[in-house]
Amino acid sequence: MTDPVTRWHRLAGAAVLLDGFHALKHALRFGAEVPVAVTADRRAALDLAAELAPDVRDGLAALLTEVPEATYRALVPRPHPTRVAALAVRPSRAAGLAALARAPRTAPVVVLDNPRNLGNAGAVIRLAAGFGVTGVVTTGTLDPWHPTVVRGGAGLHFATVVERLETAELPAGPLFALDPEGEDIRGLKLPDDAVLAFGSERSGLSGDLRARAGRLVALPMRPQVSSYNLATSVAMTLYHWSLTGGAKTALPC
């Protein structure tokens, strides 16, 4: 059997880096294919699993290989405090597109229009997974599977669909675009099949996407405050959806 370090080097170029225990935990919970996982302290990692994630403890024990500290640090760009790292197989684009196109949808699709900040994109994916959205789509040049985005998303890319698309490829459904000139969201009910589009904090929505929107929607905000953080805007919008008829099964107690 190939040793884990050799396997790591063979897969690293194409695989998804799961940086830290929590990213690996979530990936395992949501069915990711993880061909290799390493740690500088196996006992500590399994103790953490027993305490925080007993549902994946046995699977982690079968998968995790201890390597010297120096070897672990050489494999990752930025060592994680839990000293755990793994590589996962990225879901196929065809499967992602099929899931986005499936109808009827029971939860919205979130669109990040030309996002710039990797950490913000990861935070959006993490909270979107928590709300049970159908998927998170980005337009523009940012790769939503960049290691920094996956780290910010805590491995929850595997709990929803995450794809980069052109504006013309966006899934069908009523398109609601967040814009300061839009209708107050508090007077609207967002349907389960909504496509919810958010522009970047600096430049807002692109002209193309804004023109395609069926409705422009505004979040309540105090005058003279420029904008909310992108992830905050997404969280507020999804919370509103969940309160006004969103699929209740998406938010178990």
Q: What CATH code would you report for 93-250?
A: 3.40.1280.10
Domain ranges of the chain: 4-88, 93-250
Residues with Cβ within 8 Å of 82's Cβ and at least 6 positions away in sequence, in order, are 20, 21, 22, 39, 44, 45, 48
pLDDT at residue 249 greater than cutoff 70:
no
4-88: CATH superfamily: Ribosomal protein L30/S12 (3.30.1330.30)
- Percentage of residues of the chain with pLDDT beyond 70: 96
pLDDT at residue 167 greater than cutoff 50:
yes
CA 188 and chain centroid, separation: 26
Asked if the domains 4-88 and 93-250 are classified in one and the same CATH topology, the answer is no
Q: What is the pLDDT of residues 46-93, one digit of tens each?
A: 999 999 999 999 999 999 999 999 999 999 999 999 999 999 999 999
Q: What is the pLDDT of residues 26-53, one digit of tens each?
A: 999 999 999 999 999 999 999 999 999 9
Strands annotated E in the chain: 16-19, 36-39, 64-66, 84-88, 109-112, 135-138, 161-164, 175-184, 195-198, 215-218
In whole angstroms, give the CA distance from residue 205 to residue 180: 10
**Per-residue pLDDT band at 207 (split at 50, 70, 90):** confident
Strand order in the sheet with 64-66: 16-19, 84-88, 36-39, 64-66
pTM of the entire predicted model: 0.91
